[in-house]
């Protein structure tokens, strides 16, 4: 029997009991949609909440204090290069702090003393740790950014007002390392966001170490770094990398280690969703099993006739398996389309509902339900697979139909 004819045959059979087929397809479609929607919420929440959270500098950060040896050896350039060579390391930031003196151009006031952070600017930019409120990231070595409260440097008391600092944007100033005589001209191109902790003052000026290097200025032993941090490209690599660095002989600290169940939480969350989805699928499969059993019973005479004139048992089995797969397929198609619609609606409605409920706007471009292609493929495969599995027993029963009993012995 040709495949084309088998399909035609099945389609004709399915139409014999439209109502029953419709109900079964409906049940299958509903459970398929249920599975997709439930998983899509899992994916959606993961995508917006978790991915954002896990990409955050805070959780991907590994703090490196010093080497573990007798004199707490400071981190050198060689160590930095070693960290950078590790897999999944996004950036290694390092900085030294020093006092700077800012020269007043027109000598109207006395020179101001400011707090300087000498850093590897490129790494700092890559780490994602440097977040600007105004301006742009430095591109040239003589471009610098300043803290939100930089203007407090010139006043008696601390106003902690970023608006005051804004007037310094795009200004060019002359600075020198306290105790050195080389004057360096730098341009303020960006202002760092205000610190989250209100009591913290942020008055520093962040300068690329290359600037000092090119001016021949050194800070004591310039090969050593104070404030070294390794940033991973995903939170999932933090633990193992932290361990590796620690075992290589450094004192390290990663915030994420404090949140022990972090990764298992999401596993449990998703497993729970999958469990609920699987229950839905099982219910649908019972429906398909029931429908197919009834179809076989109903068609015993047809099966008997077909066997009597010479249709192979495997053909009979295939016809019924195709029939249940067909129900699963149609159900999956409808279920997928419905879940796409529902997903769209949920994403539109959810922020509104959330706003009403907690009187707070959810984060921007917050996705509540997200349906990746892989989810559709998996759900459709599961649906059709389960449908076929549900059809196996009825199909086997069909192949075992006794010709003479089916023809009621009136041959």
Partner 1 sequence: MYGCDFLEFGCTTLEGFFFEINKYDYRKAMKGEMIELENINHSFEIGTKKHKRKVPVLHDIHLKVEQGEILSIMGRSGTGKSTLLHLISGYIKPQQGKIMINDTEVTHFTEGEWADFRLQHLGFVFQNFQLIPSMTAMQNAELPLILHGVPEAERKNKVTDMMKRLDIEKYMEHYPSELSGGQQQRVSIARALMLNPSIILADEPTGSLDSENEQSLLHFIKQLNEEHGITFLIITHDEQVAKVGHRTLLMKDGRIAEGGHAI
Length of the chain (residues):
411
Determine the Cα–Cα distance for residues 168 and 170; give it in Å rounded to an integer.
6
Determine the Cα–Cα distance for residues 289 and 297; give it in Å rounded to an integer.
12
Q: How far is the CB of 391 from partner 1 (least distance, A)?
A: 20
Examine residue 403 and tell whether it contacts partner 1 (CB under 8 A).
Answer: yes
| Residue 63 φ/ψ region, left for φ over 0, alpha for ψ in the -120 to 50 degree band, beta for the rest | beta
- Considering only 49, 59, 342, 407, the residue that binds partner 1 (CB under 8 A) is 407
Determine the Cα–Cα distance for residues 221 and 395; give it in Å rounded to an integer.
82
Determine the Cα–Cα distance for residues 329 and 12; give it in Å rounded to an integer.
16
Examine residue 1 and tell whether it contacts partner 1 (CB under 8 A).
Answer: yes
E-state strands within 71-211: 75-76, 89-93, 95-103, 112-119, 132-135, 143-146, 172-177, 184-192, 205-208
Examine residue 357 and tell whether it contacts partner 1 (CB under 8 A).
Answer: no
Write the DSSP assignment of 192-254 as a string of letters.
Answer: EPPPSSTT-----EEEEHHHHHHTT---SSTTEESSEEEEESSGGGHHHHHHHHHHTTEEEEE
Determine the Cα–Cα distance for residues 164 and 151; give it in Å rounded to an integer.
6
Binding part of the chain for partner 1, among 2-10, 29-37, 53-61, 352-360 by CB under 8 A, reads: 2-10
- Considering only 76, 257, 311, 347, the residue that binds partner 1 (CB under 8 A) is 311
- Considering only 307, 323, 336, 383, the residue that binds partner 1 (CB under 8 A) is 307
Q: How far is the CB of 308 from partner 1 (least distance, A)?
A: 6
Binding part of the chain for partner 1, among 54-62, 244-252, 310-318, 367-375 by CB under 8 A, reads: 310-318
Binding part of the chain for partner 1, among 140-148, 180-188, 287-295, 296-304 by CB under 8 A, reads: 296-304
- Considering only 112, 132, 244, 305, the residue that binds partner 1 (CB under 8 A) is 305
- Considering beta carbons, is residue 246 or 315 the nearer one to partner 1? 315
- Considering beta carbons, is residue 223 or 314 the nearer one to partner 1? 314
Site for partner 1 in 144-203 (CB under 8 A): none
Examine residue 63 and tell whether it contacts partner 1 (CB under 8 A).
Answer: no
Examine residue 302 and tell whether it contacts partner 1 (CB under 8 A).
Answer: yes
Q: How far is the CB of 20 from partner 1 (least distance, A)?
A: 14
The candidate with the shortest Cα–Cα distance to 6, out of 394, 384, 322, is: 322
For residues 368 and 45, the answer to whether their CB atoms sit within 8 Å is yes
Which pair of tokens denotes residue 64? 């490196």
Examine residue 233 and tell whether it contacts partner 1 (CB under 8 A).
Answer: no
Q: How far is the CB of 27 from partner 1 (least distance, A)?
A: 24
Q: How far is the CB of 363 from partner 1 (least distance, A)?
A: 59
Determine the Cα–Cα distance for residues 213 and 177; give it in Å rounded to an integer.
12
Binding part of the chain for partner 1, among 28-36, 175-183, 217-225, 299-307 by CB under 8 A, reads: 299-307
| Residues in binding contact with partner 1, number by CB under 8 A | 28
The answer for residues whose C-beta is within 8 angstroms of residue 61's C-beta and 6 or more apart is 129, 229, 230, 231, 238, 254, 255
Q: How far is the CB of 401 from partner 1 (least distance, A)?
A: 11
Neighbours of 262 (CB within 10 A): 18
Examine residue 315 and tell whether it contacts partner 1 (CB under 8 A).
Answer: yes
Examine residue 11 and tell whether it contacts partner 1 (CB under 8 A).
Answer: no
Neighbours of 359 (CB within 10 A): 7
Examine residue 18 and tell whether it contacts partner 1 (CB under 8 A).
Answer: no
Examine residue 312 and tell whether it contacts partner 1 (CB under 8 A).
Answer: yes
The candidate with the shortest Cα–Cα distance to 61, out of 283, 235, 185, 305, is: 235
User: Which parts of this chain interact with partner 1 (CB under 8 A)?
Assistant: 1-2, 4-5, 9, 12-13, 16, 301-302, 304-315, 403-404, 407, 409-411
């Amino acid at each position: 029997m040709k495949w084309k004819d088998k399909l035609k045959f099945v389609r004709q059979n399915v139409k014999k009991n439209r109502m029953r087929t419709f109900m079964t397809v409906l049940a299958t479609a509903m459970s398929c949609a249920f599975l997709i929607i439930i998983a899509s919420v899992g994916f959606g929440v993961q995508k917006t909440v978790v991915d954002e959270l896990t990409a955050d500098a805070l959780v991907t950060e590994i703090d490196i204090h010093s080497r573990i040896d007798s004199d707490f050896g400071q981190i050198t350039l060689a160590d930095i290069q070693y960290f950078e060579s590790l897999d999944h390391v996004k950036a290694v930031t390092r900085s030294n702090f020093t006092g700077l003196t800012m020269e007043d151009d027109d000598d109207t006031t006395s020179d101001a003393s400011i707090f300087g952070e000498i850093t590897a600017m490129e790494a700092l930019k890559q780490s994602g740790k440097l977040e600007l409120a105004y301006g742009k990231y430095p591109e040239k070595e003589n471009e610098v950014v300043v803290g939100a409260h930089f203007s407090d440097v010139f006043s008696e008391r601390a106003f902690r007002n970023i608006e005051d600092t804004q007037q310094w944007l795009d200004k060019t100033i002359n600075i020198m390392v306290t105790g050195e005589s080389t004057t360096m001209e730098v341009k303020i191109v960006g202002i760092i966001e205000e610190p989250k902790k209100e009591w913290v003052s942020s008055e520093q000026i962040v300068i690329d170490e290359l600037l000092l290097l090119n001016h021949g200025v050194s800070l004591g032993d310039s090969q050593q770094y104070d404030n070294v941090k390794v940033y991973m490209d995903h939170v999932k690599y933090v633990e193992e990398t932290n361990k590796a660095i620690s075992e290589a002989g450094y004192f390290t600290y990663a915030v994420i280690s404090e949140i022990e169940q972090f990764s298992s939480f999401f596993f449990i969350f998703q497993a729970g969703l999958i469990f609920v989805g699987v229950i839905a699928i099982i219910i649908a499969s019972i429906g398909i099993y029931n429908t197919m059993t009834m179809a076989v019973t109903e068609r015993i005479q047809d099966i008997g006739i077909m066997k009597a004139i010479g249709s192979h048992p495997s053909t009979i089995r295939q016809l019924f398996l195709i029939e249940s797969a067909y129900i699963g397929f149609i159900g999956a198609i409808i279920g997928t389309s419905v879940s796409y619609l529902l997903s769209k609606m949920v994403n539109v409605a959810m922020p509104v509902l959330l706003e009403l409920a907690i009187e707070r706007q959810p984060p921007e471009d917050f996705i509540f339900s997200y349906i990746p292609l892989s989810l559709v493929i998996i759900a459709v495969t599961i649906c059709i697979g389960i449908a076929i599995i549900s059809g196996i027993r009825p199909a086997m029963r069909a192949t075992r139909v006794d010709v003479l009993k089916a023809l009621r012995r009136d041959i």
